[in-house]
Structure 1
């Protein structure tokens, strides 16, 4: 059967308009913008931000669980999930619908070049040094989280956490010890202005002035540690934890708060035999970090008694209900 060229053109136009209506809006131009100091941010940087083609929006259950757990425990905060490349929503996805059932969850696109304008890093981005890295996705993520906190303040979480309790009554300026002598950059809170903003500026400046494209941690948690050494007048993380005044109000949580189960023990989250021990260790923690970049244990049966599944059922119940028999 021949296709009428006019009908074909109309179909293409309608398809294009439909796609455009489902494209995520640029966070800088959207009507609903992040509220400075009252927003939690997540980043998705797996896509190629230099490619003009759009990506299809897709969350695994454990990524969506991170987002829902933040929204569930922070009713007074907005939760913005920012995508580093143009992204289009699927027409129907139970997991995405589950997280968007929270009124405080927003999905947006962030254009790195536009987002960097008016910041200390604007001219450096144009030099393209960032894009010569073998760890490009990690470095884009490291940079964008700093730009977000510089622009808006608030809280940044990696998308492999599960939030267990609220930060709403905590100091707006915080980070956490990851292991003995180091500070992690998976969880960072900084205020919009004042000293918190000065610290965001300091970390951002450190990032580009001594950028090393092929050393992954240098531009991540080590950049944070270098800045905190300047702020606190010491590189001793234990002193930072014990004496907040030394760090001018930047609170450094002890290891238990965010990283009680470290990357060498991460399999304990997914093994039923460690359930009682692991859940007991986490009773005072603010969140868990599952180190998904190290290894993967997905999918898990929703009937499992593994610590992660027990925590997911409690802290991301809508995603848990939407995922079916396997938690991916």
Structure 2
């Protein structure tokens, strides 16, 4: 808008102005001043409301789409609006969008309706980009199956929630570059809001490259190996942790609190180390020695020979392992040897206790993660909603999206 300001010529030669002309000149000046004042007031008002609106939207956006709220507030918000678990939201949010009455609700709906590939990290590229800081948590699936049991999904979800600022990398042998995104969206819809989970194809030749395991892998015939699924998993975890560093965890652990950032092994009981969960920095000499011993003493016919037996015999080279007393941990050189209570508070002969009703639920105050002994579960006992068992309680607290998907009978959870 252009303002036309009249210009008055004034004589500098002492010309006398009549009273009438003085009044006209004074009135014109007042009108001009008033127009300028109104214009400035209009600009100030527009700026004020624009600033307030922009600030409110930015604050609302930062608050409602922050990682903390996606992880912790996402489910409760949607359930309060009458929604089911995450997998069912995409169809319902469009109908609900017309009812969104606040800026926060509309922003959250925009986040939900965003293509899921922007919420979950589906990345077939080099995992070294994701794991370069050495603080990742690595999971493996060495079979070709793509539809996984609820316990596996719960393990991923609980870990992503506990380690919300660290990458959780899931390597799956059944994935490839062509089916990666489609498979993840189809089989893991309940995990899509967890942005720190990364899915990668598991290519054994690439995993073993530049490690002592490469020559071993190129010589053997997997079809002739007994316990190949377990043997290959034992080899992969060593190679990946040696290359990238970080935590390895089996897919039958439920994470309940963060593990301190230090190199460690976990005892199943006194004098005996598990290989189901451990942490080392990249190129640590323990994992290097384990890979060399793996190849030199390879025997696929003995279950655990390349797994917990291997870790135990190599740990004994670092120190004389004393017996645990109480709940204390042990230092073995520069390696922390965690007390069984940290990961195995319920030992394998009693694994069924997880699927039983307790008069008083255990607190697990001395534990970081809980191992549910899936290898012992030959009858495929599962968590049953409404059973009031210990495992149901764990699902509700530590993997609520997985629990919600089970309630809705998601077909991908077999």
* TM-score tier after normalising by the smaller chain length: 0.7 to 0.9
CA shift, 1:276, in A, is 1.9
Matching residue of 1:118: 210
Matching residue of 1:18: none
**Aligned pairs (5 A) from 1:125-136:** 125-128=217-220, 132-136=224-228
CA contact (8 A) 2:227 2:301 kept: yes
Structure 1 distance, partners of 2:397, 2:337, is 27
Q: Could you tell me which of 138, 155, 164 is aligned with 1:66?
A: 155
**Aligned pairs (5 A) from 1:1-328:** 26=124, 28=126, 32-47=129-144, 57-87=146-176, 88=179, 90=182, 96-128=188-220, 132-167=224-259, 170-193=260-283, 197-232=284-319, 234-236=320-322, 238=324, 243-244=330-331, 247-272=332-357, 274=358, 276=360, 279-280=362-363, 282-295=364-377, 296-324=379-407
Q: Give RMSD over aligned pairs.
A: 2.4
SS at match of 2:316: helix
- Cα-to-partner distance string for 1:238-271 (whole Å, 9 max, x where unaligned): 49x7541xx2221011010001101111110011
CA shift, 1:132, in A, is 3.0
Distance of aligned partners of 1:92 and 1:180 in 2 relative to their CA distance in 1, 3 Å threshold: closer
SS at match of 2:275: strand
Structure 2 distance, partners of 1:270, 1:228, is 33
Structure 2 distance, partners of 1:165, 1:81, is 19
Matching residue of 2:95: none
Structure 1 distance, partners of 2:346, 2:266, is 13
Distance of aligned partners of 1:270 and 1:243 in 2 relative to their CA distance in 1, 3 Å threshold: closer
Structure 1 stretches of 4+ moved >4 Å: 24-27, 89-95, 325-328
Matching residue of 1:16: none
Structure 2 distance, partners of 1:26, 1:131, is 27
Distance of aligned partners of 1:213 and 1:100 in 2 relative to their CA distance in 1, 3 Å threshold: same
CA contact (8 A) 1:275 1:306 kept: no
Gaps of 5+ in 2: 1-121
CA contact (8 A) 2:155 2:252 kept: yes
Specify the structure having the higher radius of gyration (Cα): 2
SS at match of 2:360: helix
CA contact (8 A) 2:124 2:199 kept: no
- Cα-to-partner distance string for 1:45-98 (whole Å, 9 max, x where unaligned): 122xxxxxxx5x322221100001110000121000001244535568676122
SS at match of 1:218: coil
CA contact (8 A) 2:134 2:244 kept: yes
User: Which structure would you say has the larger RCO, counting Cα contacts within 8 Å and 6 or more residues apart?
Assistant: 1
CA contact (8 A) 1:94 1:323 kept: no
Structure 1 distance, partners of 2:124, 2:137, is 17
